[in-house]
Chains A and B, each alone.
Chain A
Amino acid sequence: MAKTYDYLFKLLLIGDSGVGKTCILFRFSEDAFNATFISTIGIDFKIRTIELDGKKIKLQIWDTAGQERFRTITTAYYRGAMGIMLVYDVTNEKSFENIKNWIRNIEEHASADVEKMVLGNKCDVNERRQVSKERGEQLAIEYGIKFMETSAKASINVEEAFFALARDIKRKMEKKMEATNPPKTGSHQLKANEPTKKTSRWFCTVL
């Protein structure tokens, strides 16, 4: 059967409200940036297919749907996630401190071997910086995960970050595949019998 990709990875974005998760998502999936996103209304996930070592990898990147605001992310959000981007805002000390809480949250709900990465977003806004790059690196070392400073606005490191995360997942997965043939548990995703004709597109107004 002709699939246009070799692997499908489910990735999550996690972090406090306003750190720029949705902007990162749009920079990566659409190469677009809009500073006036107010919240994450209507955004479920975005898809982009990338190529790594000759393999086409479909990245399905899920946004929090604003449920991070009062720490009400559903456990269902974490199911099946293979990679998680933990995002803080370098101009917001609190969002950096909360990374530890988010890691704890992940440990409780996500798969134990999920690949993680920390992103310090808005690194273009140096004049209001509250968290130095060194502190970000230090935190990442402490938890043994990768770290990058990014700017969705200036398009710094966003591509690189997702490629790095995807590469780590792919490596881990292929290692496992060498050890075993992929068995299945036989679960179903429910789909409509016939795809609804895509006659109209949905327009979401940017405020």
Chain B
Amino acid sequence: MDDDLPSNFDVIILGTGMPESILAAAAARIGKTVLHLDRNHYYGGSWANFNFDQLTEWTEKHKVIPPHETTTSLIDERWAECLTEEETAVPLPQYPKNIQNVSCITCIRESASAKSVPEEKVFSQDDLEKTNVIPSGNENSENTEISHLAASSGDSFSPTDNEQVAEAVGETELSGITHNLQESESSRVTFLGASTSRTNDVSNQEGNGDHVTREHQEEDTISPDLGQSLEEALFGSNTSSDNTLIQNVGEREDSVNDVLEDRNHNIRSEESAEMCHDLNLEPSKPDKKEWTLEDLHTQRRKFNLDLAPKLLLSKGPLVGLLISSNIARYAEFKCATRVLTYINNHLEQVPCSRADVFATKHVSVVEKRMLMKLLTFCLQFQKHPEEYRGFEGRPFVEFLKSRKLTPSVVHYICYAIAMVDDSVPTLQGLTATQKFLESLGHYGNSPFLWPLYGCGELPQCFCRLCAVFGGIYYLKRSVEGVILDREGKCVGIFSNHKRINCSWLVMESSYAAAEFLPANVPERVSRAIFITSSSILPAEKEQLTLLKLVPDGNIPSTVTVLELGPGAMVCPDGLYVVYMNCPSVHETAKEDLLPAAELLFSPLNTDVNTGCAGSSDVMEPEVLWCVFFNELDTTTVNLNEHNPSGTIITSSPGKSLDYELTVKEARNLFQKMFPAEEFLPRAPDPEEIVMEGDTGNPGEKGNESAENLTDNEIQHPSENLQQPEELQSPNDQENKEQDQHSVTEA
């Protein structure tokens, strides 16, 4: 292949996942020459992010069992020519086996043609207007409606699609689960029976009310409630809801003395909740849409589906690194809006902030006081060792129980806030609780941030920085072998039959030869991606949800569930994406995660004939399409024990929820490679770069940096906390609400 790649680099990196990309950026940043390769045609490897078609393609590719590595061709003549007498070559695997048991289930039909579906309700303009009147005090509602129409007019979709609930109809493909088939049939019968006995009753309307409110979610931040002018809303704290806006301000000012304000807030949010309740009583017809595979394909670009979804802790190491390195400018984030837990056979929102604690209806006043007291204590538990004396080595649960907390409060703290299991000792539980609480309230009502367009953006941000500092990128490039010198130190690679020398070779674990790795990688992660028709717990606004399911009965190990909607830029309007992962227990991810899916969703529709419209009053979301897979978890072993010197092996995404381990890993490996160098120092802003010998109008540039300083001074009036920022860079993905982001009024 006639590329004009240089043949010497300081660092060659194989794989564009998160740790590799951080290392690439860090190396380029200190002036090292970097060649960054990936065997795939996309960025991210096991951390990648796909549109619907790309994910389907990935699924198909990984269903095929990879062939055995052929070791015969390893020392072919071309290799021998490139080697000196003292050098040896070690072939690298060409067919990685880090992804296993890929199983995809399609629960909808191929296309809308040849349907046996009962008459489909069309959401008429009348209905739209009717629903629009309701959110009183909201002067923007009409305008928004227009925007809906305008924005979607160029689309192949009718305006009403946005509000329509999808319908799961169709057929499972090849490997459909047979036991589920029966279940789904029987439950569908009961449910059909139920639906005939109802007309437009409450359950129908609830669904509809949800649409109404979802339709208005966009202008919530400009709610007149807050007495905010449009400009203020544009420049003010940029949170996804007015509730969090208030709460944010409060919490930032002082994390203790804002109870009063929160009470106000609480009242306000209850009012709005009631308002929404009224909405639900507005008689209206259920609207729905039968989604087909064809629809998902047509809207493929609106999907950004992650292989390794994670959240960032607002005060966690990745957020810190993104800010300190100035890489944060390449991405935008949204705060997770709620943490759910499954308790007493239903989903409940966990009160985690002070505002939540006061707002929750699931906790009595006495319990609220106890919970507040405990949370305040956890925030600075180190200062009060007497409070947990005697419990240091004992389980956290026991400590919580000793505080005379009710079972549900213990459940909230242990499983949803600390997110630990029963065996975890008290100190560890307290630390976990503290970590959660410390990250709370910086950007919104939860400690977690989600990167818009998905987590797959994050490694790319680091790659961009690497490229800005001269790193060379080459995707879809295979690497056949590693060259070792007489001492067994790595001196280069063979790639496309070309020898490229390097001082350091970094490779993601699936690129490494078996002899470089620990003999046994015992752990795996089970993952699943679901495209669903509605939220697992519908609310008046679109939510970004985190849920931990505790091992129980059918659920073999703690399942982390993330639910994201169109506002997170991961799917089209009207759909949700649910990610699940857990440490693997059974052989396949499907066995591990199907029980959790059955708990949260309607039974997976596996029969095209019974699965048809009419299921609108099913409260549980229906799954349109899903995929399960297992992934080797190399985070649990020491990868850098058996590898040749001059090489570094990085781990897979693993099962952790946040990026703490990843950043720690990258930092440690960087220090191993370049002990004396700084890890990702702040990259200069463009206006700080002055070309040597450039005498061109300094006036203009002077203005530019002066302007930025002013901006900053105004936006950060001697605050200690990181503030949510008005986003400045535009951000539109043919999405009407996004288009408006670019507008920053003076």
A6 contacts B724, CB within 8 Å? no
B742 contacts A190, CB within 8 Å? no
For residue A202, which residue of chain B has the nearest CB? B684
A176 contacts B150, CB within 8 Å? yes
A82 contacts B742, CB within 8 Å? yes
- A79 to B298 alpha-carbon distance, docked (Å): 20
Contacts of B95 in A (CB 8 A): none
B688 contacts A190, CB within 8 Å? no
A8 contacts B728, CB within 8 Å? yes
A190 contacts B722, CB within 8 Å? yes
In chain B, positions 309-342 with a C-beta closer than 8 Å to chain A are 319, 322-324, 328-335
Contacts of B671 in A (CB 8 A): none
Determine how close the nearest CB of chain A comes to the CB of B382; give it in whole angstroms: 23
Contacts of A43 in B (CB 8 A): 468, 686, 689
Determine how close the nearest CB of chain B comes to the CB of A118; give it in whole angstroms: 21
B322 contacts A190, CB within 8 Å? yes
Is A144 an interface residue when CB atoms closer than 8 A count as contact?
A: no
Given contacts A6-B746, A188-B443, A198-B705, contact A179 B150 (CB under 8 A): yes
In chain A, positions 68-82 with a C-beta closer than 8 Å to chain B are 69-72, 74-77, 79-82
Given contacts A112-B734, A188-B333, A191-B723, contact A183 B218 (CB under 8 A): yes
| B708-737 Cβ-contact flags toward A at 8 Å (1 or 0) | 111111111011111111111111111011
Is B238 an interface residue when CB atoms closer than 8 A count as contact?
A: yes
In chain A, positions 157-204 with a C-beta closer than 8 Å to chain B are 173, 176-177, 179-196, 198, 201-204
Given contacts A7-B744, A70-B474, A187-B238, contact A79 B469 (CB under 8 A): no
A32 contacts B739, CB within 8 Å? no
**Listed stretches B65-73, B455-463, B586-594; interface member:** B455-463
Count of chain B residues with a beta carbon within 8 Å of a chain A beta carbon: 113
B712 contacts A76, CB within 8 Å? no
- A31 to B694 alpha-carbon distance, docked (Å): 10
A187 contacts B731, CB within 8 Å? yes
Is A46 an interface residue when CB atoms closer than 8 A count as contact?
A: yes
Given contacts A6-B745, A180-B146, A188-B725, contact A65 B686 (CB under 8 A): no
- A65 to B262 alpha-carbon distance, docked (Å): 47
| B126-158 Cβ-contact flags toward A at 8 Å (1 or 0) | 000000000000001001101100100010000
Is B696 an interface residue when CB atoms closer than 8 A count as contact?
A: yes
Contacts of A1 in B (CB 8 A): 231, 235, 714-715
Contacts of B230 in A (CB 8 A): 181-182
B238 contacts A186, CB within 8 Å? yes
- A48 to B704 alpha-carbon distance, docked (Å): 8
**Which among A48, A77, A193 has the greatest number of chain B C-beta atoms within 10 A?**
A193
Is B472 an interface residue when CB atoms closer than 8 A count as contact?
A: yes
Is B114 an interface residue when CB atoms closer than 8 A count as contact?
A: no
Taking residues whose C-beta sits less than 8 angstroms from the other chain, chain A's interface range is: 35 or more
B716 contacts A80, CB within 8 Å? no
A190 contacts B328, CB within 8 Å? yes
- A10 to B694 alpha-carbon distance, docked (Å): 25
Determine how close the nearest CB of chain B comes to the CB of A5; give it in whole angstroms: 7
Q: How many CB-defined contacts (below 8 Å) exist between A and B?
A: 295
- A146 to B270 alpha-carbon distance, docked (Å): 53
B746 contacts A56, CB within 8 Å? yes
For residue A31, which residue of chain B has the nearest CB? B696
B147 contacts A188, CB within 8 Å? no
Given contacts A1-B235, A5-B744, contact A188 B335 (CB under 8 A): yes
Contacts of B679 in A (CB 8 A): none
Contacts of A76 in B (CB 8 A): 330-331, 453, 457, 460-461, 464
Determine how close the nearest CB of chain A comes to the CB of B35; give it in whole angstroms: 11
- Other-chain residue from A32, A108, A181 in contact with B144 (beta carbon distance below 8 A): A181
A8 contacts B140, CB within 8 Å? no
- Other-chain residue from A3, A67, A81 in contact with B467 (beta carbon distance below 8 A): A67
Given contacts A5-B744, A10-B729, A179-B150, contact A195 B222 (CB under 8 A): no
Determine how close the nearest CB of chain B comes to the CB of A141; give it in whole angstroms: 21
- A85 to B701 alpha-carbon distance, docked (Å): 23
Determine how close the nearest CB of chain B comes to the CB of A30; give it in whole angstroms: 4
Contacts of A51 in B (CB 8 A): none
- Other-chain residue from A39, A75, A192, A203 in contact with B460 (beta carbon distance below 8 A): A75
- A6 to B743 alpha-carbon distance, docked (Å): 8
A192 contacts B324, CB within 8 Å? yes
Is A35 an interface residue when CB atoms closer than 8 A count as contact?
A: no
- A111 to B625 alpha-carbon distance, docked (Å): 25
**Which among B49, B687, B703 has the greatest number of chain A C-beta atoms within 10 A?**
B687
Is B233 an interface residue when CB atoms closer than 8 A count as contact?
A: yes
Determine how close the nearest CB of chain B comes to the CB of A81; give it in whole angstroms: 8
- A120 to B234 alpha-carbon distance, docked (Å): 38
For residue A204, which residue of chain B has the nearest CB? B689
Contacts of B721 in A (CB 8 A): 193
B746 contacts A203, CB within 8 Å? no
Given contacts A8-B728, A46-B686, A190-B319, contact A184 B712 (CB under 8 A): no
- A177 to B420 alpha-carbon distance, docked (Å): 48
A203 contacts B692, CB within 8 Å? yes
- Other-chain residue from A30, A66, A80 in contact with B696 (beta carbon distance below 8 A): A30
- A108 to B50 alpha-carbon distance, docked (Å): 12
- Other-chain residue from B472, B690, B731, B740 in contact with A204 (beta carbon distance below 8 A): B690
Is B487 an interface residue when CB atoms closer than 8 A count as contact?
A: no
Given contacts A112-B734, A203-B690, contact A184 B740 (CB under 8 A): yes
B452 contacts A177, CB within 8 Å? no
Contacts of B731 in A (CB 8 A): 79-80, 187
In chain B, positions 3-23 with a C-beta closer than 8 Å to chain A are 3
- A51 to B407 alpha-carbon distance, docked (Å): 63
Contacts of A187 in B (CB 8 A): 238, 332-334, 452, 727, 731, 741
Contacts of B146 in A (CB 8 A): 179-180
B472 contacts A74, CB within 8 Å? no
Is B239 an interface residue when CB atoms closer than 8 A count as contact?
A: yes
Is B584 an interface residue when CB atoms closer than 8 A count as contact?
A: no
For residue B461, which residue of chain A has the nearest CB? A76
For residue B477, which residue of chain A has the nearest CB? A70
Is B260 an interface residue when CB atoms closer than 8 A count as contact?
A: no
For residue B467, which residue of chain A has the nearest CB? A65
For residue A69, which residue of chain B has the nearest CB? B472
A8 contacts B692, CB within 8 Å? no
- A26 to B129 alpha-carbon distance, docked (Å): 51
B235 contacts A173, CB within 8 Å? no
Is B693 an interface residue when CB atoms closer than 8 A count as contact?
A: yes
- A46 to B685 alpha-carbon distance, docked (Å): 9
Is B533 an interface residue when CB atoms closer than 8 A count as contact?
A: no
Contacts of B738 in A (CB 8 A): 80, 111, 185
Determine how close the nearest CB of chain A comes to the CB of B254; give it in whole angstroms: 17
Contacts of B460 in A (CB 8 A): 74-76
Contacts of B536 in A (CB 8 A): none
A42 contacts B724, CB within 8 Å? no
Determine how close the nearest CB of chain A comes to the CB of B529; give it in whole angstroms: 18
- A138 to B301 alpha-carbon distance, docked (Å): 29
- Other-chain residue from A8, A48, A70, A185 in contact with B475 (beta carbon distance below 8 A): A70
In chain A, positions 1-27 with a C-beta closer than 8 Å to chain B are 1-10, 26
For the complex with contacts A70-B3, A187-B731, A203-B692, 7 further pairs of A-B residues with Cβ separation under 8 Å are A43-B686, A60-B729, A65-B464, A72-B474, A182-B740, A183-B144, A189-B331
In the complex, 29 of the A-B residue pairs with CB atoms within 8 angstroms, ordered by the A residue number, are A1-B715, A2-B746, A3-B745, A4-B707, A6-B744, A7-B744, A31-B697, A41-B468, A44-B683, A47-B686, A70-B475, A74-B463, A76-B461, A179-B143, A180-B147, A180-B736, A183-B147, A183-B218, A185-B218, A186-B567, A189-B328, A189-B329, A192-B323, A192-B722, A193-B722, A196-B682, A198-B705, A198-B709, A206-B691
Interface residues of A (CB under 8 A from B): 1-10, 26, 30-32, 34, 39-49, 56, 60, 65-67, 69-72, 74-77, 79-82, 108, 111-113, 173, 176-177, 179-196, 198, 201-206
